Amino acid sequence: MSGRTIPFAAFEWMIAWRYLRARRREGGVSVMTVISLLGITLAVFALIATLAVRSGFRYEFVQTILGANAHITLYSSSYTDAQGRLTRAIKNYDELARKVAAVPGVTRAAPVVRGQLMASASGRNAGIEVFGERLSDLMTLPLIIHPESSSGDISKFEDGVAIGSGVAQELGVMAGDRIKIISPDGVKTAFGTAPRIKSYKVVYVFSVGRYDIDRTRVYMPLAEAQSYFNREGTADEIEISVENPDAVDNYVVPIIAAAGGRAVIWTWRDASGSFLRALKTEDNVMFIILSILVLIATMNIVSGLIMLVKNKGSDIGILRTMGLSEGSILRIFFIVGASIGVAGTVLGVISGSLFAIYIDPIFSFVNWMLGGGLWDPSVRYLSQLPARLELWDVLNAVILALVLSFGATIFPARRAARMNPVEALRYE
């Protein structure tokens, strides 16, 4: 053989393959090879599975916000009414909603009356948040009209109220039952303020899959809410939806210009900014921690190759005397280590992707094995463990694993290439 050969020639791959499958008594390190392979596989699996769950959390949280809440909420700045009271009520809400709806990119502008009250039924009480809206506006909220599950008939909304599944469960009611809504700010009498109590029929029960919405949300017809809250002819806010919620900041200035100088804007990013920032921080920390896990797994490749180089010292000496260059020896052992990294990465990607795709049955089985109660929606807000397999996350995991695996093989491969053939064959 010539001292100069083309890089990664066929004979280099053949020798590397013989070393990979060589048994221990033949001078190979098959056990270390298997351990290295399993280490890379499990590390890449953990990285992809964690990234998928992380992406699922972010996606489900954002989609629930956008599907059941306004992308932008418009308020009025404070002013003094005819009775000398400081208020933020919006009087010309229909006209204001029409002006905002005419802004390019705005898909929905709905006047809302809103308040926090108490609901009661069958001797049970629950704190609720009431949203007074027209049926036509309610029908434009995707997760309310097409929730995870529902019962009753939303078309009968004007005859009662629509409540979240958590409220229904807390009160022990279902569609067709009646609930009492109680406001401490009621009728003023000679003996003080009497609570305002009124009974409503539950016509629709919805579950959007987010605990803080299902557990508190109650929708009431706008006219009824105005009467109940003593806000005839006014609204508390204008709920606005836009075509591109991710670029919500681009709509703020045009909406303020259309609404007038007294408008105050609050976007969904303002409302959930702290949570989204916490998710981003957690994303970065988890990726760093799992990257260290992959790095530790690649160290098995280093130890395995060092043992292989030691066991194959005589082979290296013979190959060098036959004319193989240092570069050929380096490439042979690089192929050995890199092959382990590539195989482990491929197996890790396959297993991690399958975990993300079939996470629901896997999680249900684990939950059943542990006796249930593994997932608490009141803590995690979502009704089930989400996972979303994204191409960029998979590519990040693959690139990280391959770079670390290839880098880990350089030191033992260079050590093999620089071995003195005379020293290697001295005691043979």
Per the model's pLDDT, the better-predicted residue between 417 and 233 turns out to be 233
Q: Are residues 95 and 146 in the same domain?
A: yes
pLDDT bracket for residue 148 (50, 70, 90): confident
Decide if pLDDT at 2 tops 50: no
Q: Do the domain assignments include residue 375? A: yes
Per the model's pLDDT, the better-predicted residue between 423 and 218 turns out to be 218
Decide if pLDDT at 189 tops 70: no
Do 385 and 317 contact (CB within 8 A), yes or no? Answer: no
Report how far residue 157's alpha carbon sits from residue 177's, in angstroms, rounded to the nearest whole number: 14
Q: Are residues 412 and 330 in the same domain?
A: yes
Q: Are residues 85 and 57 in the same domain?
A: no
| Residue span of the structural domain in which 107 resides | 78-261
Q: Are residues 58 and 89 in the same domain?
A: no
Report residue 295 as tokens.
């790095």
Residue 382 bridge partners (DSSP): 210
Determine how many CB atoms are found less than 10 A away from the CB of residue 156. Answer: 14
Q: Do the domain assignments include residue 355? A: yes
pLDDT bracket for residue 80 (50, 70, 90): confident
Share of the chain above pLDDT 70, in %: 86
Q: Are residues 128 and 23 in the same domain?
A: no
> What's the average model confidence in pLDDT over 212-229?
91
Q: Are residues 281 and 327 in the same domain?
A: yes
Among 94-108, 193-207, 327-341, which range has the highest average pLDDT? Answer: 94-108
- pLDDT computed for residue 162 by the predictor: 95
Q: Do the domain assignments include residue 72? A: no
Q: Are residues 305 and 215 in the same domain?
A: no
Decide if pLDDT at 11 tops 70: yes
Q: Are residues 82 and 53 in the same domain?
A: no
Which of 227, 261, 295 marks a domain boundary? 261
Which of 261, 296, 330 marks a domain boundary? 261
Q: Are residues 47 and 102 in the same domain?
A: no
What are the pLDDT digits (tens) for 150-169?
999 999 999 999 999 999 99
Report residue 48 as tokens.
């992809």
Report how far residue 71's alpha carbon sits from residue 271's, in angstroms, rounded to the nearest whole number: 10
Q: Do the domain assignments include residue 270? A: no
Q: Which residues of 360-390 are buried (b: 16+ CB within 10 A; e: fewer)?
A: eebbeeeeeeeeeeeeebeeebbbbbbbbbe
Q: Are residues 54 and 184 in the same domain?
A: no
Q: Do the domain assignments include residue 30? A: yes
Whole-angstrom Cα Rg for the chain: 33
- pLDDT computed for residue 417 by the predictor: 74
Decide if pLDDT at 393 tops 90: no
- pLDDT computed for residue 223 by the predictor: 93
Decide if pLDDT at 88 tops 90: no
Candidates 219, 205, 192, 38; CA nearest to 113 is 219
- pLDDT computed for residue 27 by the predictor: 47
Q: Are residues 175 and 129 in the same domain?
A: yes
Per the model's pLDDT, the better-predicted residue between 381 and 211 turns out to be 211
- Counted domains in the chain: 2
